[in-house]
């Protein structure tokens, strides 16, 4: 098989680039903005019909009887499936050891599937769903993770409501606290955020003989393929999943939903392709969330800023099935700052609500909310600038993994970020403003972070075809979840081959026609896929050199690729255009294949960041105006500066949502039902909530050990410290430490008027 490129082939790429790192618009930008791009929700197939799912309206209930007789007779209805249907009876939803049948008669959350219909139109399908008569035995529920383990909480699973515990310890925490000059302990609460990407979850499923094709709005077609093949007991080769465009996932589309299997069953039963796209309301109920967390953080610090101990307890709900209710929450505590003595403990519990799912930087913003506020408190206690305190504790080793980082750009992120942000000046400005007798107060705050992965790694396979006219086809399995993957990969190939990016066509995210790739998530797509793309291009170049050598009569070793020419290293007049190479012409195309090389042994590859915020609070209305934000990010090499900056801005916007607007409201006392299941009541930040002045400051650490492109992950660190930076700035402006997120005007006014009488 083709090898990894030799170091000798690297320098051109490393020292100067024509495309990589520049501001290049999306290669598929036209398709996306013109509406020509076909997302799964846009797909129309001949004879396609529409699916709809009946979902349990109770947080906890037993399905006693499902009567579909009326529904089956309704106009346009072609298939009705329940747990008793032949098609579904034996199917298991193999998510974990807690998973039961596909249609589980014990519904453990509001939104669990009970039956499904396919009909000629969307409306006929929904009419039929409403005509299904279900007898439920409603059961007691628990919807608050802090009550899930109490004596009188109903058991959600036979094994009880404890989904799992996780413990971590290094050093001697007690001794650490003893050695501290200041010890602070505080409880923090973060809310549950719901997954609500622009494109709804869903798919189109169709059968062609014994072969199933699924067009799914997915972050990873191969992950969907393996799950569906497993549930339906089919060969992988007959289970095709395509995901060419998708409108956002943020972790909620890493795997298929029950709806994917249901669509396949409805399609088989009706012998028609079935489109099953969830409604917005359904996605709020069942496509996942960032779980709420309750965190107790105790920290000790010496007067000189040395952190002596960190102790962290965390509880969080997986929802009704194991889904990582506290997953990765402690990572920031373990790894962000130098500290010899750390103890973390987390308890993941079941509640009667939709399961959690990975949500952009799972666990990290929650812990950042606690840790970064705590750092400011500690700084205050010892009279140190918050920036200086963080700079005092920069690690070069992943303490949690006990191995060195290839690069740690954290120091530069904080230093250069603070410099470009004008930290000192901003502090002065805020001080001046707050000394004025006015209801507009000003604050600045910051937060920094590490992302627990982000170095990517094998496997990744990429194939690049060079057509005889010099144009290029790039074939990779990875999904572009809106982050610009196609653009970045196109640039890497174009850079390496010396072709214009518009000559490159990309085929991706199709289990049948493209190469295996892991799902796009974990900020690992660029560092995983780009090295394979580069290796494929290098492999292709080598073949082209060999072919050119036959035409030029010069050994391949003496030839070099120069733009679209092959040139003799010894005589620049001895050259041939790639399009003129005889064997290439004869062969039609040349095919290069490339694999992702292994990661460095005994080193950890991680991105770092620091974000800075300046804001104003209207102390009469509680309204907050974020004036500006700066994100200084060490994600290694910048691949496309335009998509890079957009990632930073998007992450900050999402962080503003986490810190200030988004929140799942469960009626935990009376019905257990979700109160805000639409974009009116579930508040995403809008353009008015976002500062006009957002800056991105790339800290381009040179990290050749990370991989052969030097890129590290970016998609998740960009949203980790945002909310904490806001909270810190709010503290300066309003004088209040907000321990519960989100911080909206109501909360601010509540705090500002606490103890006051009207």
In the block, residue with structure tokens 């196109």: 490
DSSP string, 305-367: S-EEEEEEEEEEEEESS-S-SSTTTTHHHHHSS--S-EEEEEEEEE-SSPPP---SSTTHHHH
The DSSP symbol for 241 reads E
Q: By CB under 8 A, is residue 28 in contact with a second copy? A: yes
623 φ, ψ to 5°? -75, 140
Q: By CB under 8 A, is residue 186 in contact with a second copy? A: no
HEC letters along 210-231: CEEEEEECCCCHHHHHHHHHHH
Cβ nearer to a second copy, comparing 46 with 755:
46
Cβ nearer to a second copy, comparing 30 with 679:
30
CB of 566 to a second copy, least distance (A): 17
According to CB under 8 A, which one of 215, 222, 423, 658 is a site residue for a second copy? Answer: 222
CB of 472 to a second copy, least distance (A): 6
Q: By CB under 8 A, is residue 232 in contact with a second copy? A: no
Site for a second copy in 234-263 (CB under 8 A): 235-238, 240
Q: By CB under 8 A, is residue 603 in contact with a second copy? A: no
Cβ nearer to a second copy, comparing 38 with 388:
38
What are the b/e assignments for 406-445, b being 16+ CB within 10 Å? bbbbbbbbbbbbbeebbbeebbeebeeebeeeeeebbbbb
Cβ nearer to a second copy, comparing 495 with 703:
495
Cβ nearer to a second copy, comparing 225 with 741:
225
Q: By CB under 8 A, is residue 536 in contact with a second copy? A: no
For residue 612, give Cα distances in angstroms to 398, 545, 550, 692, 749: 24, 50, 58, 14, 24
Cβ nearer to a second copy, comparing 577 with 750:
577
Cβ nearer to a second copy, comparing 396 with 513:
513
Q: By CB under 8 A, is residue 601 in contact with a second copy? A: no
Measured CA to CA, the distance from residue 498 to residue 504 in angstroms comes to 11
CB neighbours of residue 598 within 10 Å: 10
Cβ nearer to a second copy, comparing 2 with 704:
2
Cβ nearer to a second copy, comparing 39 with 93:
39
Q: By CB under 8 A, is residue 37 in contact with a second copy? A: yes
Cβ nearer to a second copy, comparing 211 with 575:
211
* Kind and range of the H or E run holding 127: helix 122-131
68 φ, ψ to 5°? -105, 10
Measured CA to CA, the distance from residue 421 to residue 157 in angstroms comes to 51
Q: By CB under 8 A, is residue 472 in contact with a second copy? A: yes
Cβ nearer to a second copy, comparing 494 with 706:
494
Q: By CB under 8 A, is residue 121 in contact with a second copy? A: no
Q: By CB under 8 A, is residue 30 in contact with a second copy? A: yes
State the first-to-last Cα distance of the chain, in angstroms, to the nearest integer.
78
The DSSP symbol for 238 reads G
What are the b/e assignments for 693-702, b being 16+ CB within 10 Å? ebbbbbbbbe
Please enumerate in sequence order all residues whose Cβ is within 8 A of that of 199, keeping only pairs 6 or more positions apart, or say none: 39, 40, 41, 217, 246, 247, 248
Q: By CB under 8 A, is residue 120 in contact with a second copy? A: no
CB of 600 to a second copy, least distance (A): 18
517 φ, ψ to 5°? -145, 150
According to CB under 8 A, which one of 44, 688, 746, 754 is a site residue for a second copy? Answer: 44
CB of 382 to a second copy, least distance (A): 48
According to CB under 8 A, which one of 184, 338, 419, 593 is a site residue for a second copy? Answer: 593
Please tell me the count of residues contacting a second copy according to CB under 8 A. 60
Query: The tokens of 158 are what?
Result: 């036979």
Contact 406, 702 (CB under 8 A): no
Query: The tokens of 53 are what?
Result: 């799912």
Q: By CB under 8 A, is residue 556 in contact with a second copy? A: no
Region of 569 (left: φ > 0; alpha: ψ -120 to 50; beta: rest) is alpha
CB of 101 to a second copy, least distance (A): 23
Q: By CB under 8 A, is residue 122 in contact with a second copy? A: no
CB of 25 to a second copy, least distance (A): 12
According to CB under 8 A, which one of 8, 553, 588, 755 is a site residue for a second copy? Answer: 588
Q: By CB under 8 A, is residue 199 in contact with a second copy? A: no
CB of 521 to a second copy, least distance (A): 15
Which span sits near a second copy by CB under 8 A: 193-201, 248-256, 515-523, 616-624? 515-523
Q: Which candidate, 66, 74, 55, places its Cα nearest to that of 118?
A: 74
CB of 30 to a second copy, least distance (A): 4
Q: By CB under 8 A, is residue 676 in contact with a second copy? A: no
Q: By CB under 8 A, is residue 469 in contact with a second copy? A: yes
According to CB under 8 A, which one of 352, 398, 515, 708 is a site residue for a second copy? Answer: 515
Which span sits near a second copy by CB under 8 A: 169-177, 208-216, 628-636, 638-646? 208-216
Contact 186, 297 (CB under 8 A): yes
CB of 517 to a second copy, least distance (A): 8
For residue 135, give Cα distances in angstroms to 71, 170, 569, 703: 15, 53, 81, 61
CB of 234 to a second copy, least distance (A): 9
According to CB under 8 A, which one of 371, 410, 463, 730 is a site residue for a second copy? Answer: 463
Measured CA to CA, the distance from residue 659 to residue 656 in angstroms comes to 5
Cβ nearer to a second copy, comparing 2 with 164:
2
Site for a second copy in 492-511 (CB under 8 A): 502-505, 507, 510
Query: The tokens of 21 are what?
Result: 């790192």
According to CB under 8 A, which one of 15, 16, 158, 209 is a site residue for a second copy? Answer: 209
Measured CA to CA, the distance from residue 255 to residue 450 in angstroms comes to 26
CB of 370 to a second copy, least distance (A): 36
Cβ nearer to a second copy, comparing 74 with 591:
591
CB of 522 to a second copy, least distance (A): 16
Taking the alpha carbons of 643, 648, 654, 657 in that order, is the dihedral positive or negative? negative
Cβ nearer to a second copy, comparing 146 with 505:
505
Contact 651, 629 (CB under 8 A): no
| Contact set with a second copy (CB under 8 A) | 1-2, 28, 30-31, 34, 36-38, 42-46, 207-211, 222, 226, 229, 235-238, 240, 458-459, 461, 463, 465, 467-473, 475, 502-505, 507, 510, 512-518, 543, 586-589, 591, 593
């Amino acid at each position: 098989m083709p090898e990894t490129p030799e170091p000798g082939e690297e320098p051109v790429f490393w020292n100067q680039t024509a495309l990589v790192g520049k501001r290049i618009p999306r290669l598929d930008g036209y398709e996306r903005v013109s509406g020509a791009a076909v997302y799964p929700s846009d797909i129309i197939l001949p004879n396609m019909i529409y699916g709809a799912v009946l979902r349990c309206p109770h947080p906890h209930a037993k399905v006693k009887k499902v009567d579909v007789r009326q529904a089956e007779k309704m106009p346009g209805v072609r298939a009705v499936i329940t747990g008793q249907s032949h098609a579904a009876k034996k199917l298991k939803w193999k998510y974990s050891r807690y998973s039961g049948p596909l249609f589980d008669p014990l519904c453990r959350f509001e939104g669990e599937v009970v039956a499904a219909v396919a009909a000629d139109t969307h409306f006929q399908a929904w009419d039929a769903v409403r005509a299904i008569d279900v007898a439920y035995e409603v059961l007691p529920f628990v919807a608050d993770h802090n009550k899930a383990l109490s004596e009188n909480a109903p058991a959600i699973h036979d094994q009880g409501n404890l989904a799992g515990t996780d413990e971590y310890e290094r050093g001697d925490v007690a001794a650490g606290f003893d050695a501290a000059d200041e010890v602070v302990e505080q409880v923090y609460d973060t809310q549950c955020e719901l997954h609500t990407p622009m494109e709804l979850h869903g798919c189109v499923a169709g059968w062609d003989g014994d072969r199933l094709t699924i067009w799914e709005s997915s972050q990873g077609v191969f992950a969907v393929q393996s799950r569906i093949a497993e549930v339906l007991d089919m060969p992988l080769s007959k289970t095709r999943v395509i995901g060419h465009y998708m409108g956002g996932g943020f972790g909620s589309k890493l795997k298929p939903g029950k709806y994917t299997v249901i669509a396949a069953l409805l399609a088989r039963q009706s012998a028609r392709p079935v489109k099953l796209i969830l409604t917005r309301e359904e996605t709020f109920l069942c496509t996942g969330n960032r779980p709420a967390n309750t965190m107790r953080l105790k920290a000790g610090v010496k007067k000189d800023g040395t952190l002596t101990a960190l102790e962290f307890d965390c509880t969080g709900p997986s929802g009704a099935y194991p889904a990582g209710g506290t997953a990765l929450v402690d990572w920031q505590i373990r790894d962000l700052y130098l500290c010899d003595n750390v103890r973390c403990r987390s308890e993941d519990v079941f509640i009667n609500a939709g399961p959690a799912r990975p949500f952009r930087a799972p666990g990290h913003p929650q812990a950042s909310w606690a840790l970064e506020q705590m750092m400011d408190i500690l700084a205050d206690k010892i009279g140190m600038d918050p920036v200086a305190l963080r700079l005092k504790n920069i690690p070069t080793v992943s303490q949690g993994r006990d191995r060195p980082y290839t690069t740690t750009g954290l120091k530069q992120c904080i230093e250069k970020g603070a410099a470009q942000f004008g930290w000192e000046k901003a502090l002065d400005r805020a001080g001046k403003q707050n000394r004025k007798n006015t209801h507009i107060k000003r604050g600045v705050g910051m937060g920094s972070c590490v992302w627990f992965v982000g170095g990517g790694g094998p496997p990744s396979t990429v194939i690049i075809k060079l057509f005889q006219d010099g144009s290029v086809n790039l074939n990779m399995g990875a999904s572009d979840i809106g982050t610009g993957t196609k653009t970045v990969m196109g640039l890497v190939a174009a850079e390496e081959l010396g072709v214009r990016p518009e000559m490159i066509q990309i085929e991706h995210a199709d289990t049948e026609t493209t190469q295996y790739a892991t799902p796009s998530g974990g900020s690992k797509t660029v560092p995983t896929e780009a090295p394979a793309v580069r290796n494929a291009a290098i492999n292709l170049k080598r073949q082209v050199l060999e072919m050119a050598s036959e035409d030029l009569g010069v050994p391949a070793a003496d030839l070099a690729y120069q733009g679209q020419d092959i040139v003799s290293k010894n005589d620049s007049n001895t050259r041939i255009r790639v399009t003129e190479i005889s064997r290439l012409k004869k062969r039609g195309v040349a095919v290069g294949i490339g694999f992702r090389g292994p990661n460095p042994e005994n080193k950890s590859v991680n991105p770092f960041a620091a974000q800075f915020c300046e804001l104003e609070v209207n102390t009469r209305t509680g309204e907050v105006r974020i004036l500006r934000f700066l994100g200084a990010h060490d994600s290694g090499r910048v691949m496309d500066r335009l998509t890079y900056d957009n990632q930073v801005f998007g992450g900050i916007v999402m962080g503003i949502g986490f810190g200030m607007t988004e929140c799942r409201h469960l009626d935990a006392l009376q019905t257990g039902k979700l109160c805000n299941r639409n974009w009116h009541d579930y508040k995403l930040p809008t353009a008015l909530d976002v500062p006009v002045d957002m800056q991105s400051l790339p800290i381009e650490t040179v990290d050749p050990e990370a991989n052969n492109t030097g890129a590290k992950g970016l998609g998740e660190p960009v949203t980790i410290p945002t909310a904490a930076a806001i909270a810190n700035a709010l503290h300066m402006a309003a004088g209040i430490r907000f321990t519960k997120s989100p911080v909206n005007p109501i909360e601010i006014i509540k705090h500002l008027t606490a103890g006051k009488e009207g």
